Amino acid sequence: MRRAIDTLFGRLVVIVIGMLVLSHVAWFAIIRFERDNVQTRFAVEEAVFLVEAVRQHIANTPDQPLPPRVRLVALNSADVPKQPDEDTPPPLQRFVEDLKDRLPDGTEVRLNEPGGPPSVWVHSAKDAGWIVVPVQPLRPPRSRDRMLVWLALIFSTAVLAALFGAWQLQYPLRSLAQAVGRFGRGQPTPPVPERGPRELRQLTHGFNQMVREVSQTENDRAVMLAGVAHDLKTPLARLRLRAEMMDDEKIRDGVVRDVDSMAHIVDQFLVFAHDRPDGSEPVPVDEQCERIARAYRAVSPGAQPIRLKLEAGPTFALPAATLDRLLSNLLDNAHAYGAPPVVIETRREAKGWILSVSDHGTGIAPDDLIKASRPFVRLDPARGGSGHSGLGLAIVERLARRAGGECEIGNRAEGGLQVAMTFPFEIATRPAEERRAGPQHEERAL
């Protein structure tokens, strides 16, 4: 199952959001700590200012009344609060210590009892009694901390900007990954726009250059192969004609068989070198499989039996020429190297339409499976001279990819070789009547 965290964009999102959460939480904690310190210092400075103002008032205008909430209390009054102890909250203890540091040495500082208006009691050696002045609450009650609102707003904006930046960063890489996938499937790969960071632009430029060089090499090889194969057809035709005119029947039959084998190899060369889109009419795969099976039975009554297991239905359609070449190469390969019966199967799965051909022979050695679809590779050297050039499975894989599908070659658990081709629904689900637009429509579908 595909998970969002497996993509580059998903991981960038997790990293960005995680870093933003960490930085904002740290920022919020630091701001709260600094705000408490600033609040404590402000309360200390305010208390020192009021105490000094009261002392100046007593010294200069003792007959004038004191401001509200400021009073003088006798030293032996029963209202004098007790000294701060260990149970006093740390912010209040810090406030008392800071206030003592700002007042003359020997000054005694006490806080009023909880429940009343916050005030501080101050007495020094020069004071006749306790000076009581109000102080600001160190932590005033709040129904809602506005800092959290601003934090949420800044965090949301930062996340949106980060997501946009992450998407812009991974978009060129996603385009490159899609182009690599198309190139790996053998589909036409247009040049990828070179954009993004410098390293990504260099990577994209290298990929585009590689695609151009590989395409040029493939075109040169196809042209050379097609030219050689085409030039051989005329001499082979003359050779067959001369063989038919031989008097010795035994020699004539041997030469004709050799000429037919060479002609079959030449035909495979031409099919392998053919690199143009198939413009033939799409046909339902199940119906075409039945027709090809009947044709094989009619041409070779004594050949290996062919079993059909067709469950795809009429909506599974492929170009007729491509389908004929796929099945003819697979059936020839199964008849030459496999064992009966040969099974042609179609079905629908979650990933797309499946077309498979399997036999009941010995299959291919596991170490040789990876080489089975390579061109001009014969896994059994003893098969030389049998009219096979090692292109059968290579042609099948190339045709399947050119039609937009994937080809998988493997051994059946019960024994025998199985070649399974998977075609996506968007490519191979249109009825034949809707797919008669030719190669242009096929290219748009890809």
| 3-state SS, one letter per residue, for 315-332 | CCEEEHHHHHHHHHHHHH
Among 315, 314, 318, CA closest to 327: 318
Distance CA 80, CA 4 (A): 67
Count of other CB atoms within 10 angstroms of residue 361: 19
136-145, 200-209, 256-265, 324-333: which has the highest mean pLDDT? Answer: 200-209
CA angle centred on 70, ends 66 and 71, rounded to 5°: 80
Averaged pLDDT, 60-69 = 83
Answer whether 207's CB lies under 8 Å from 176's CB.
yes
In a domain, 225, yes or no: no
For residue 346 the two structure tokens come to 């179609």
Q: Identify whether the C-beta of residue 27 lies closer than 8 Å to the C-beta of residue 158.
A: no
Determine contact, residues 408/401, Cβ cutoff 8 Å. Answer: no
Question: Cα torsion for 60, 65, 70, 74, to the nearest 10°?
Answer: 80
170 touches 9 (CB < 8 A): yes
Q: Which of 87, 115, 134 delimits the end of a domain?
A: 134
CA 314/CA 327 separation, integer angstroms: 18
The pLDDT of residue 220:
67
Angle at 271 between CA 368 and CA 294, to 5 degrees: 85
Average pLDDT over residues 191-208: 86
| 360 neighbors 339 (Cβ within 8 angstroms) | yes
Answer with the residue of higher pLDDT: 178 or 223. 178
Q: Is the pLDDT of residue 112 over 60?
A: yes
Higher pLDDT, 236 or 378: 236
271, part of any domain: no
pLDDT-derived band at 346 (thresholds 50, 70, 90) equals: very high
pLDDT of 381 higher than 60 = no
Residue 445: pLDDT band (50, 70, 90) is very low
The answer on pLDDT for 436 being more than 50 is no
Nearest 5°: phi and psi at 410?
A: -160, 175
pTM of the predicted structure, to 2 decimals? 0.46
Q: What is the CATH number of the domain that holds 437?
A: 3.30.565.10
E strands in 58-177? 71-73, 108-111, 119-123, 130-134
Domain carrying residue 48: 4-134
End of a domain among 134, 153, 182?
A: 134
Q: Report residue 55's pLDDT band, with 50, 70 and 90 as the boundaries.
A: confident
The tally of domains found in the chain comes to 2
Amino acid at 291: R
Q: What is d(CA 118, CA 73) in angstroms, rounded to the nearest whole number?
A: 16
Beta bridge partners of 132: 71, 121
Res 158: pLDDT: 81
Cα dihedral 70, 75, 77, 80, rounded to 10, equals 60
Residue 111 lies in a domain: yes
Last residue of a domain, one of 134, 164, 194: 134
Which parts of 185-319 fold into alpha helices (H)? 198-244, 249-273, 285-299
User: What tokens appear for 397 in the block?
Assistant: 């894989």
- Identify the pLDDT of residue 387: 43
pLDDT band at 351 (very low <50, low <70, confident <90, very high): confident
Whether residue 215 is contained in a domain is answered as no
Amino acid 78 reads A
The answer to whether residue 83 is domain-embedded is yes
Average pLDDT of the chain?
77
- SS3 of residue 309 by DSSP: strand
pLDDT of residue 310: 92
Helix 249-273 vs helix 198-244: crossing angle, to nearest 10: 160
Q: What is the largest CA-CA distance in the chain?
A: 153
Dihedral of CA 386/389/391/393: which sign? positive
The 3-state DSSP class for residue 120 equals strand
Query: How confident is the model over 299-319, as a mean pLDDT?
Result: 80
Look at residue 309 and tell me whether its pLDDT is greater than 50: yes
State the DSSP H helix or E strand holding residue 64, giving kind and residue range, or none if neither.
none
Q: Is the per-residue pLDDT at 433 higher than 70?
A: no
Residue with tokens 């030449």: 266
Residues near 379 by beta carbon (within 8 Å), at least 6 away in sequence:
364, 365, 368, 371, 372
Phi, psi (rounded to 5 degrees) for 75: -65, -35
pLDDT at 2 over 60: no
- Max avg pLDDT among 180-184, 349-353, 403-407: 349-353
Alpha-carbon torsion 253, 255, 258, 260, what sign?
negative
Q: Evaluate if residue 356 carries a pLDDT over 90.
A: yes
Contacts 24+ apart (CB under 8 A), 8-11: 8/170, 8/173, 8/174, 9/166, 9/167, 9/170, 9/174
Lowest average pLDDT, out of 94-103, 213-222, 297-306, goes to 297-306
**Helices then strands, each counted (H, E), the chain:** 10, 11
Nearest to 176 by CA among 199, 198, 200, 158: 200
In a domain, 420, yes or no: yes
| Residue 333: how many other CB atoms lie within 10 Å | 21
